[in-house]
Amino acid sequence: MAKKLAEKPRARGKEESQIPQYVAKVYKKAAQIAYLMTGEDIEADLKVLRDAKKATHHVYDTKTKKLKRVPDHKTRLAATTLSRAYHEGKPVERSIAVTADAEDFPALVAKLNASPAFQAKISEQKTLEGEQSTPIFPEGH
């Protein structure tokens, strides 16, 4: 009998994982928590996160016929995720933009090859074993 029940299709007709739906709900909850954070007062924002990490909700207990307070895992997970995002953040990305006339290009190449920052970047690049690193722009060009 148990085998027959296991073989039956679900009443909803879908065998999909509920993980993407749950992640979307947690993301929405994190957005709601972030909305409560003003960004002007750090202590107030931390209090919002701390309160969200302790969130509970009520569930009706059929045995005692009373509402029972239980942890709100979705809100707690959203608060923890948001907290980690604020603490870790996105790493700093630096970029250099150079504009020059085509006539000044040889002088620009010479300055670039002489630049300590450019030389450090070149030394960071991986080279094949036994091969020496060479400047990207040769001096003569």
Q: Report in angstroms the alpha-carbon separations of 108 from 94, 115, 122, 135.
A: 20, 10, 17, 14
- pTM beyond 0.85: the answer is no
What is the pLDDT tens value at each position of the chain, 141 positions in all?
A: 445 545 555 555 555 677 788 888 888 988 888 888 887 888 888 899 999 999 999 999 999 999 999 999 999 999 998 888 877 776 667 777 767 676 777 887 888 888 888 877 777 764 544 455 555 565 655
Domain ranges of the chain: 17-88
Q: What angle do CA 138, 140, 141 make, to 5 degrees?
A: 75
